[in-house]
Amino acid sequence: MALFLVFAVIAGSFTAWYLFTRPPPLRVVTGRMAQAFNDRVALIMSVDKAEFGLGETVNVTFTIRNLWEGDISLVWDSHLILDFVVYGESFKKICAWSWGRYFYDIPRTINLHEGEPYEEILSWDQKILDGVTGNFTQVDPGVYYLEGILVKGFSHEELRTPLLRITIPP
């Protein structure tokens, strides 16, 4: 009986550890838009289409909309306010829009009236940074996933969209 109790405690501890340390399940959406919300803003990431030719620029439109009843100010410590991560077919991170770019370490503020949107377009040329050579190389045809990020600032927490599926056929 005592051996069973020891086993039950160890198994219960392992289960609790596993549940709290594993990554959350990935949320994937199809179509042309993914969105995330908190109590103050909506982050909407959209693309023109779900299928792109090899080497074709992927324009990613971000909209930050004020959901608050009144005016808000979003404040960051640099000019990096929006970003997106690109994942491959196996959901492995292969690049982020911000990789290889420099941003001023000067605070940036966006003031939004109630319901007002702010829009910005970021472009991806379908190239990824090779960690060995330091060069950018064209991705292969396949399925990719984009995750939009509202970067954490002084006034708000980071906000991430579900993964948006895009295809680059051969």
134 is in which domain, residue-wise?
Answer: 29-168
| Strand-by-strand arrangement of the 82-87 sheet | 28-29, 159-168, 142-150, 82-87, 93-96
Answer yes or no: is 58 within a domain: yes
- Per-residue pLDDT band at 100 (split at 50, 70, 90): confident
Answer yes or no: is 90 within a domain: yes
User: Contact at 8 Å (CB) between 118 and 126?
Assistant: no
Query: Which of 19-33, 59-73, 118-132: highest mean pLDDT?
Result: 59-73
Residue 119 has pLDDT above 90, yes or no: yes
Number of domains making up the chain:
1
Q: What is the rounded average pLDDT of the residues 5-23?
A: 40
The total number of residues shown for the chain amounts to: 170
* pLDDT score for 135: 87
Answer yes or no: is 2 within a domain: no
Answer yes or no: is 9 within a domain: no
Answer yes or no: is 73 within a domain: yes
- Indicate the pTM of the whole model: 0.82
User: Contact at 8 Å (CB) between 82 and 151?
Assistant: yes
35-44 per-position pLDDT tens digit:
999 999 999 9
Looking up residue 97, the CATH number of its domain turns out to be: 2.60.40.2360
Rounded distance, CA 98 to CA 95, Å? Answer: 8
- Per-residue pLDDT band at 52 (split at 50, 70, 90): very high
Q: Which residues, 6 or more positions from 61, have their beta carbon under 8 angstroms from its beta carbon?
A: 45, 46, 47, 119, 120, 121
Answer yes or no: is 139 within a domain: yes
Answer yes or no: is 143 within a domain: yes
Answer yes or no: is 137 within a domain: yes
